[in-house]
Amino acid sequence: MLIHRLGITDVRNLRQVQLGELAPINIFYGVNGSGKSSILESVHFLSLAKSFRSHKLNPIINHQADRCIVFGEVFSNDSVIPIGVQRSKKEGGLIKVSGKTLRSVSELAEFIPLQTINSDTFRLLEGSPSVRRQFLDWGVFHVEHRFHDVWKDTQRSLKQRNTLLRHGKIDPQQLAVWNSELVKNGVKLDSFRQHYFEQLIPIFEKTLNSLLQLEGLTVKYFRGWDKEKSLEVLLQENFLKEQEQGRTLSGPHRADIRIRYKGLNASEMLSRGQQKLVVCALRVAQGYLLGNVVGRKCVFLVDDLPAELDQEHRQALCHLLEEMDCQVFLTCVDHHDLDGCWSNNTKTKLFHVEHGQVRAA
């Protein structure tokens, strides 16, 4: 998987940017506010039709324009796949792959498996369980082709059950139907997650050891309900409490990855630099696992790589990215901060970004 060409039109301060013959390692440097992160945001938009900065899409459109467009040519299995994603302030979004209009973002996401390492990545430690579920489900989505349909069915079952719980009078037959659906789909979803997690953790531990010696760190999967009881039993036992609160209290929607250091939350115990290495190891481990299981390579977006990492740990992280033979887009203020981070035989390309203009250095 390699993005060979990238065209960006009106993404924030990037009015017209054309990047051709992109390398495995692409380094964008310049002062803060120059547009470096907007290039990474454009690649993210090409892969997922959304921004990593905001849940709202209109703010990524340049204030002088009505729409933004990102176009890319992706090399995959000796073929070139043209992908275009557009967002209009008035008309909404449009996604095209090889000239065909896609109806869902999940179809688009299959083409460019993407991992992002930026300031938001710390939320894997500090954020809510939903952030870690999203991290876990990204991996399962890309290695288990049945996952997405089961996930959608689970969400539908949960939504219908919660709607019933909020009603004053509940039809027992309807509740039984959605209980059954939630149990059936939830158990399948948990099985997919559990299997993926068991594959991921040994790779994560090996990856983290390459970056940092950290005795006492544990990473455990919680399925979202008591391991001693079945989901069916818990739905029955908690019915009155759930009816009072109007929501389902146990199930795969409560799943989490619990990251502890010496028995306490890792986010409260580790330094900022240690936290960054742990979350980087989690992201990199997913890239390794994707390659091992399905033979596909991730594209990595790394925003401000030198931040909170000394030279030794920068080199260690870059070595891991090199080992995966993946494509990397990364930013920094001073490109000399990355001197010595790449092997001589690794193809790198350097770009200077200034006032929304990008040129090969």
Tens place of pLDDT per residue across the chain (361 aa)? 789 999 999 999 999 999 999 999 999 999 999 999 999 999 999 999 999 988 888 889 999 999 999 999 999 878 999 999 999 998 889 999 999 999 999 999 999 999 999 999 999 999 999 999 999 999 999 999 999 999 999 999 999 999 999 987 888 999 999 999 999 999 999 999 999 999 999 999 999 999 999 999 999 999 999 999 999 999 999 999 999 999 999 999 999 999 999 999 999 999 999 999 999 999 999 999 999 999 999 999 999 999 889 999 999 999 999 999 999 999 999 999 999 999 999 999 999 999 999 999 9
Angstrom distance (rounded) from CA 162 to CA 152: 15
Determine which helix (DSSP H) or strand (DSSP E) holds 130, and give its type and residue range: helix 129-143
Asked whether the CA dihedral 43, 48, 53, 57 is positive or negative, the reply is positive
The CATH number of the structural domain formed by 119-289 is 1.20.1050.90
The residues with which 19 forms a beta bridge, in sequence order, are 6
DSSP 121: G
Say if strands 217-222 and 256-261 run parallel, antiparallel, or are unpaired: antiparallel
Angstrom distance (rounded) from CA 6 to CA 51: 16
Fold type of domain 1-113+297-361? Rossmann fold (3.40.50)
Asked whether the CA dihedral 241, 131, 145, 110 is positive or negative, the reply is positive
Residues 6+ apart with CB under 8 A from 210: 281, 316, 319, 320
Query: So where are the chain's domains?
Result: 1-113+297-361, 119-289
